[in-house]
């Protein structure tokens, strides 16, 4: 199928919580068979995380539901020699293994990349960590909030009097997961296959900061927190209207001129403070105040419609419920429904359209160990062997 370019690829997902599960979810949406290998008894920590205590108690927390549809689940005690042997057998049938333990954990278990790639030389082994597999911070614990601070993101988020501020969603986990998914997809294309991928969440975020980093490296400008202002141009930022705020990005001279003309503020075009882009950047606060004198007279919806029609990029500032109900998002089918034991749960599908079709999960997030019989029998284990291993706490 066009929406399953990774059909036939088997991925072992040994990850927990967000960066790794998000990576593997994106790959599952593209058609890969993803087997989630979890700890017996408890599984992924995300199973008990989320805003619904009842779901948490049932081991199907909202945080888990969001990233684990279209996967299979088995449990395995990798500290036991029998569990290690079973993982090696799984590896022989896999194309990719993804883990997000602290660096060195898999090596201490005797299941590091060299050991597992000896079992399957074509294995793509992807290790996601906060800081990478070497360096002075390699063994430090790394949650999203920690990485946001260390990567510099918090220092440039908020305004001068409020920074440092964290981004309002797990930016580092998401960037790390996307980076890992991209690297895995690229490695799957290589011939012969086989690679060790070292993914640092911090480096993924620093790379994504793009111009902010380059302005310092090349221009010598130390980045700061500038609130809702785009420091590359003006007027470019958030402006108050009669009801709700809007974003305007008049980054080109002709857009600035069209904006001033439509607001019937032609005098601003002759103001020496606003003659050039650099002038407007230096006097952006005064410019915002001047423009808001007119913008505050009418609604956000009016300005968005009129300015966009003139080619002046303008958009509303929406809440999460508002954006999910917005015709642009709702109309393109990003959100889909899955039946999870009689209950319809809404989840995000792939952010990609392939030939006009959006990849969506074809099965709900799995109960812990739900696919044990299928997976272990596929390795040649008998029903009695599976039962004995379950009784012994291995499965």
The 10s digit of each residue's pLDDT in 201-248 is 999 999 999 999 999 999 999 999 999 999 899 999 999 999 999 999
Q: What's the rounded mean pLDDT across residues 162-176?
A: 96
Active-site residue, selected from the candidate residues 173, 253, 326, 339: 173
Q: Is 173 a catalytic residue?
A: yes
**What topology does CATH give the domain 236-240+245-316?**
formyl-coa transferase, domain 3 (3.30.1540)
Domain boundaries, the chain: 10-209+333-391, 236-240+245-316
List of residues 6+ apart from 371 with CB closer than 8 A: 35, 72, 73, 74
Q: In degrees rounded to 5, what are phi and psi of residue 186?
A: -65, -45
Q: What's the rounded mean pLDDT across residues 181-197?
A: 97
The 10s digit of each residue's pLDDT in 236-295 is 999 999 999 999 999 999 999 999 999 999 999 999 999 999 999 999 999 999 999 999
DSSP for 65-126 reads: HHH-TTEEEEE--TTSHHHHHHHHHHHHT-SEEEE-SPTTHHHHTT--HHHHHHH-TT-EEE
Helix (H, G, I), strand (E, B) or coil at 200: strand
Kindly state the percentage of the chain with pLDDT values over 90.
Answer: 97
**Domain pair 10-209+333-391 / 236-240+245-316, same fold:** no
pLDDT at site 340: 84
Q: What's the rounded mean pLDDT across residues 128-147?
A: 95
pLDDT at site 369: 94
List of residues 6+ apart from 187 with CB closer than 8 A: 96, 124, 193, 195, 197
Instruction: Answer whether 176's CB lies under 8 Å from 204's CB.
Output: yes
The residues that bridge with 249 in the sheet, in sequence order, are 236
d(CA 163, CA 186): 37
CB neighbour burial string for 119-136, b if at least 16 within 10 angstroms, e if fewer: ebeebbbbbbbbbbbeee
CB neighbour burial string for 42-71, b if at least 16 within 10 angstroms, e if fewer: ebbebbbbbeeeebbeeebbebbbbbbbbb
pLDDT at site 370: 95
Going by pLDDT thresholds of 50, 70 and 90, the confidence category of residue 341 is confident
Question: In CATH, what number does 10-209+333-391 get?
Answer: 3.40.50.10540
* Pick from 115, 90, 99: nearest CA to 33: 90
Going by pLDDT thresholds of 50, 70 and 90, the confidence category of residue 161 is very high
Task: Indicate if the pLDDT at residue 2 is higher than 90.
Answer: no
């Amino acid at each position: 199928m066009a929406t399953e370019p990774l059909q036939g690829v088997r991925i072992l997902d040994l990850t927990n919580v967000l960066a790794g599960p998000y990576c593997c979810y994106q790959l599952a949406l593209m058609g890969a068979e993803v087997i989630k290998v979890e700890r017996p008894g408890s599984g992924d920590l995300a199973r008990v995380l989320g805003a619904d205590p009842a779901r948490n108690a049932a081991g199907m927390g909202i945080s888990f539901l969001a990233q684990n549809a279209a996967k299979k689940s088995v449990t395995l005690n990798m500290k036991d020699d029998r569990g290690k042997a079973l993982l090696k057998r799984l590896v022989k049938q896999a194309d990719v293994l993804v883990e997000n333990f602290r660096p060195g954990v898999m090596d201490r278990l005797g299941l590091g990349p060299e050991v597992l790639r000896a079992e399957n030389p074509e294995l793509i082994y992807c290790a996601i960590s906060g800081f990478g597999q070497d360096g002075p911070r390699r063994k430090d614990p790394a949650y999203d909030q920690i990485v946001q601070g260390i990567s510099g993101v918090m220092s440039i988020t908020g305004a001068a009097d409020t920074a440092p501020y964290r981004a309002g969603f797990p930016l580092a986990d998401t960037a790390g997961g996307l980076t890992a998914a991209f690297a895995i997809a690229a490695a799957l294309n290589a011939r012969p296959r086989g690679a060790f991928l070292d993914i640092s969440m911090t480096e993924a975020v620093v790379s994504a900061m793009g111009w902010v980093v380059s302005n310092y490296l090349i221009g010598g400008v130390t980045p700061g927190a500038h609130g809702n202002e785009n420091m590359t141009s003006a007027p470019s930022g958030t402006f108050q209207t009669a009801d709700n705020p809007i974003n305007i990005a008049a980054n080109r001279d002709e857009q600035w001129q069209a904006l001033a003309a439509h607001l019937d503020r032609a005098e601003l075009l002759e103001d020496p403070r606003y003659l050039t882009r650099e002038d407007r950047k230096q006097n952006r606060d005064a410019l915002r105040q001047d423009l808001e004198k007119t913008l505050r007279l009418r609604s956000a919806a009016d300005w968005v419609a009129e300015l966009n029609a003139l080619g002046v990029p303008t958009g509303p500032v929406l809440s999460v419920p508002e954006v999910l109900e917005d015709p642009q998002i709702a109309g393109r089918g990003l959100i889909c429904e899955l039946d999870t034991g009689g209950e319809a749960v809404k989840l995000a599908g792939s952010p990609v359209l392939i030939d006009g079709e959006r990849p969506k999960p074809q099965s709900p997030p799995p109960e812990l160990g739900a696919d044990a019989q299928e997976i272990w029998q596929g390795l040649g284990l008998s029903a009695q062997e599976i039962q004995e291993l379950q009784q012994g706490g291995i499965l």
